[in-house]
Amino acid sequence: MALPKVDFYLLAAADARARLTAACRIAEKAYDQGLKVAVKTSSPGETAELDDALWTFADGSFVPHGLWPAEPDFAAATPVLIGNTALPTSHRDVLINLAADAPTDFSSYARICEVVAGDEDSRRHARVRWRVYRDAGCNPGKVEL
């Protein structure tokens, strides 16, 4: 299996809302391309916040999504799934990682999008994830937002 394409989306803003909005935009773009998206959050609270944000982040925008775990038929029909536990094997086109650590199963995804807030703690965790990906043979890239 080929290694995933990994990009770090570096935000100037340090607030959580900017991070969630960036994740929403990435999810929307992937959905528009017909890709199955998994979003790994850091907590049940962040899962709920992102669920709300996907309904409200842009006027006229709609990203069909649901929470994981879910019933298998619902999950299969839903392009974007959000959770803070192990994510389904059905959604491996794109992983948007909002968690502090790199997922242990990252090599099973085609693409990984790491969303990094502008505060020093977020940047420190991102540097650790960068090294994990690099040491596994990936060539992580940077995107300034």
Does 81 have pLDDT greater than 90?
Answer: yes
Max distance between CA atoms of the chain, in angstroms, equals 41
Measured CA to CA, the distance from residue 43 to residue 105 in angstroms comes to 18
pLDDT at 62: 85
Does 85 have pLDDT greater than 90?
Answer: yes
Question: Is-cis flag, bond preceding 79, omega within 30?
Answer: no
> Within 10 A of 13 (CB to CB), how many other CB atoms are there?
14
What proportion of the chain, given as a percentage, has pLDDT over 70?
99
Alpha carbon 63 to its chain's center: 14
pLDDT at 12: 94
Question: Can you list the domains of the chain with their CATH numbers?
Answer: 5-144 (3.40.50.10110)
> Residue 49 — pLDDT band, cuts 50, 70, 90?
very high
pTM: predicted TM-score of the whole model, two decimal places: 0.96
Q: Compute the average pLDDT of residues 93-103.
A: 97
Does 1 have pLDDT greater than 70?
Answer: no
The identity of residue 118, as a single letter, is: G
The region of weakest confidence among 51-65, 67-81, 128-142 is: 51-65
Of residues 61 and 136, more confidently modeled: 136
